[in-house]
Copies of this chain bind each other. A is one copy, B any other.
Amino acid sequence: MSETGRSTRERILQAAGKLFYGEGIRAVSVDAVAEKAGLTKRTLYYHFRSKDDLIAAYLEIRDQPNLALFKRWFAEADGDVAAKVEAIFRNLARSARHAKWKGCGFLRTSVELVNLPGHPAMVIGRAHKKRVEDWLCSVFEDAVNPQQARQLARQVILLLDGAFAVVLLHRDPSYMETAGAAAAHLVRGLMPPPRKSIKAANVRRTIRSRTG
C-alpha cells in the first residue's frame, strides 16, 4: 500500500537522518538505522537498495530545506546585502550552540567518502554547494559589479564552509561570527558607496570612501 509505504520510507529517512548526521555515515550501521526506525533491517532493504542509496537519500532531502533556510535568514535580516549575508552566519552561530549540531552534513559526508568521488552522495553534495553558490551569486549581481559577483559568492562560500569545519573542530561558535564579519567586509569592499554617509552603528563596521 502506497500510503503505509511512504510513511515507512519517511520513518527510515528520519532515523537515518538523525543517526547519519549525529554520528557520521560510517559510524552508523544499517541495523542501527532499522532499529531506530522501529523495523527490521530486511524491511529497510525492501525500501532502499543499499546503504549507499540510503546515504544519498539522506542528503537529497536536506538539500532544498537547507538552502531555503539560508534564503529565509537572508530575507528576514535588516540592512544592506552585506548585513543580510552576515545574518546568515549569525543564525548559524546560534544553531551551532545546540549540542546536536555537528557542522555541515554535506561536507562531513564528502570527507567520509573522500575516495569515492562518483558516489551519489558526493554528487548531491557538490550540487548542493553549487546551488548555494549560485544563489549567493545572483544576490550579489544586484549589489556589486556583476563581473565580481561569482568570485565574491565563492569567497563567502569558503568562509561558510571554513566556519563549519573550524567550529566543529574547536566547538566554538564564535568563529562563525568571525567568518560573518569577514564575509560582510568582503561584500562591502565591492559595494558602491551609499548616497548618504551613515554614522553606522556601534558595531565595528565603517563605510569606506573609495575616492580617497
Question: Which residues in A have some Cβ–Cβ distance to B below 8 Å?
Answer: 22-24, 26-27, 102-103, 106-108, 110-112, 114-115, 117, 122, 125-126, 129, 151, 154-155, 157-166, 168-171, 175, 178-179, 181-182, 185-186, 189, 197, 212
Shortest Cβ gap from A95 to chain B (Å): 16
Q: Which 6 A-B pairs rank lowest in CB-CB distance, beginning with the nearest?
A: A162-B162, A158-B162, A155-B182, A111-B111, A161-B162, A161-B165
Per a CB cutoff under 8 Å, which of B27, B111, B175, B212 touches A115? B27
Partner of A158, one of B23, B102, B175, B197: B175
**Alpha-carbon distance A115/B112, docked complex (angstroms):** 14
Q: What residues of chain B lie closer than 8 Å to A169, measured between beta carbons? A: 106-107, 110, 122, 125-126, 129
* Beyond known contacts A107-B111, A114-B168: 10 more, CB 8 A cutoff: A107-B169, A110-B169, A122-B169, A126-B170, A129-B166, A151-B178, A155-B182, A158-B162, A159-B182, A161-B165
Residue numbers in B under 8 Å from A125 (CB-CB): 169
Which residues on B sit within 8 Å (CB–CB) of A163? 158, 162
Q: Does B26 lie within 8 Å of A112, measured CB to CB? A: yes
Partner of A182, one of B27, B110, B158, B181: B158
